Amino acid sequence: MRVGAAIVLVLSVLVAPVAAREISRIVATVDGDPITTREFEAYVEKLGRPPQPDAFLLETLITEKLIQKEAAAKGVVVNEADVDGYLAEVKARNGFDDDTFEQALGQQGLTVETYRQNVQDELLRAQLINQEIRSHVNVSPEEIRRYYEAHRENYRTGGGRTVLDIFFAIPSGAGEEETARIRARAEEVRSQARSRRAFRKLAEEHSEGPGADQGGLLGTFEKGEMTDALDSVVFSLDRGKVSDVIETPDGFHLLLVEEDVQPTYRPVEEVEDEIRERLYDEALAARYRDWLVKDLRKRHHVEVLN
């Protein structure tokens, strides 16, 4: 054998195993069981290569491994009938037969087999969560009452300011001279509106806006319900006082706040189910995070390798 050929042969023997080991190197272990780069790549591919960093995706894969181990230890099992039942519900809900269901999955880059595996994983997780977490989450009447008192404004109904308006429209295409004439008319009417009764009478005579036949009554509004130009005036105006002339793209307004309407609040008995559901979901999410980060990790040995 020539020397050059011998060197090439020796190098190939030395380098090839290193390359092979590099391709399938171990990136993490869970209770001593390895996770290789090949397995990680297959997992990322199954997820459709999401944009999260590899470190985050590896932690997700580790969590799935932990859940599978925990489910096995506690005898939690998802059988084929459970998966079949879930798929039947999905098909019925969307009006799919077997062919259209397969086509829909294909448009998302999934096969029926891959989707079945995803469903099985999710059902396993859901059963384990029900067993490990939901039984430890409870919302007391005292918690509901405290939340209601702290967020009472969320359950407010009605209230606001009752507004009268005298509106002077600016015709489309009106020039500066006509606009100035309409403003002067608004200023003249304002000078005559010395009382609420006078304002109502003037609205009936001059207003070109809604509610003119009811003394200019617009309605009762909470803050933020009117356009910005009118809202800022209404909620800074003293009750019974007439505003300055307000110019908007459509015309000129004179506003008067006739009445402050006090709000009412939905009683806690009416909203307690809504609050209980909100607090339960928040507590469940917090307990789930603790279970993943603390409880589950404490019961298993996880090592992430550089």
How confident is the model at residue 23, as a pLDDT?
A: 61
Q: What is the pLDDT of residues 165-187, one digit of tens each?
A: 999 999 998 999 999 999 999 99
Query: For the chain, what is the mean pLDDT?
Result: 88
**What is 208-265 written as a DSSP string?**
-STTGGGTSEEEEE-TTSS-HHHHHHHTTSPTTPBPPPEEETTEEEEEEEEEEEPPEE
Partner residues linked to 162 by β-bridges: 220, 259
Helix orientation angle between 37-46 and 54-73, rounded to the nearest 10 degrees: 90
Query: Hey, what are 274's tokens?
Result: 């809504």
Q: What is the pLDDT of residues 196-213, one digit of tens each?
A: 999 999 999 999 999 999
Q: Which residues contact 207 (CB under 8 A, 6 or more apart)?
A: 165, 166, 167, 168, 216
Global pTM reads 0.54
Mapped onto helix, strand or coil, the DSSP state of residue 53 is coil
Q: Which residue has the higher pLDDT, 11 or 17?
A: 17
User: What is the helix (H) or strand (E) element at residue 29, kind and residue range?
Assistant: strand 26-30
| Helix segments in the chain, DSSP class H | 3-23, 37-46, 54-73, 80-94, 98-107, 112-132, 141-150, 176-192, 196-206, 228-234, 268-290, 297-298
Instruction: Label the pairing between strands 217-221 and 246-248.
Output: unpaired
Q: What are the angstrom distances between the C-alpha of 294 and each of 70, 123, 129, 258, 286?
A: 14, 22, 15, 60, 12
Q: What is the pLDDT of residues 275-306, one digit of tens each?
A: 999 999 999 989 988 888 888 888 899 999 97
Q: What is the pLDDT of residues 47-89, one digit of tens each?
A: 878 889 999 999 999 988 998 898 888 899 899 999 999 999 9
Mapped onto helix, strand or coil, the DSSP state of residue 95 is coil
Give residue 192's identity as a one-letter amino acid code.
Q
Alpha-carbon distance 255 to 230, whole Å? 8
**Above 50 in pLDDT, residue 13?**
no
Instruction: Label the pairing between strands 156-157 and 246-248.
Output: unpaired
Partner residues linked to 304 by β-bridges: 28
Query: Hey, what are 177's tokens?
Result: 């001279």
Mapped onto helix, strand or coil, the DSSP state of residue 8 is helix
How confident is the model at residue 11, as a pLDDT?
A: 31
